[in-house]
């Protein structure tokens, strides 16, 4: 792998940690976790633009995610799962042309069907998928390669405390990380 500057949103998550293990030591990794950037703040777009301007990454991986179904979590779920990706894409849509950049968004297999126990989550991932479909060709003209990966349910911290899920249900995040790493 060539030396890259890789910006990872959601770097404290299980999947991101597995991806980081695979990245070549010569690459520079910029880690942004939820403590660094609150996706629910009104100035999220300014913060994301500032990060992208300052870091000028070759690769952006956004694996930030929130699982929720409660209406009280609406802003958290949509701002994190969809809004953060929208702000990244919007940043590049405003530019005339860019150096070659890869953007990898982490979707979910839940995007294709509403899940009764987490309607907001699957709806936000469906919106993310449609954002990908609508933006990929325009971004390609600007030298940006946009990818989305929709893993099935993974064994992560995000699902560990959900009582209605069976304990051993889910894909090992290291397997998913390897597939995402191929996109890098």
Q: What is the pLDDT of residues 65-82, one digit of tens each?
A: 888 767 778 888 899 999
* pLDDT single digits (tens) 97-132: 879 999 999 998 888 877 677 788 889 999 999 999
Reduced to 3 states, what is the DSSP secondary structure of residue 81?
Answer: helix
> Domains of the chain: which residue ranges?
5-183
5-183: CATH architecture: 3-Layer(aba) Sandwich (3.40)
Chain-centroid distance of CA 32 in Å reads: 11
* Average pLDDT, integer, range 10-37: 89
DSSP letters for 37-86: --TTSTTHHHHHHHHHHHH--SEEEE-------SGGGHHHHHIIIIIHHH
């Amino acid at each position: 792998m060539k030396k890259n500057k890789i910006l990872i949103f959601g770097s404290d998550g299980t999947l991101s940690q597995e991806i980081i293990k695979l990245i070549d030591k010569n690459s520079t990794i910029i880690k942004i976790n939820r403590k660094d950037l609150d996706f629910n703040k009104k100035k999220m777009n300014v913060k994301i633009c500032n990060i992208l301007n300052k870091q000028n990454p070759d690769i952006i991986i956004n694996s930030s995610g929130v699982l929720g179904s409660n209406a009280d979590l609406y802003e958290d779920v949509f701002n994190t799962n969809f809004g953060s990706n929208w702000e990244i894409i919007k940043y590049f849509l405003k530019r005339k042309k860019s150096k070659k950049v890869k953007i990898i968004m982490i979707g979910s297999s839940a995007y294709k069907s509403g899940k009764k126990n987490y309607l907001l989550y699957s709806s936000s991932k469906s919106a993310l998928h449609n954002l990908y479909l609508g933006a990929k060709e325009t971004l390609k003209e600007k030298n940006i390669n946009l990818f989305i990966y929709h893993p099935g349910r993974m064994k992560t911290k995000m699902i560990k405390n959900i009582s209605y899920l069976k304990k051993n249900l889910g894909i090992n995040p290291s397997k998913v990380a390897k597939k995402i790493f191929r996109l890098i």
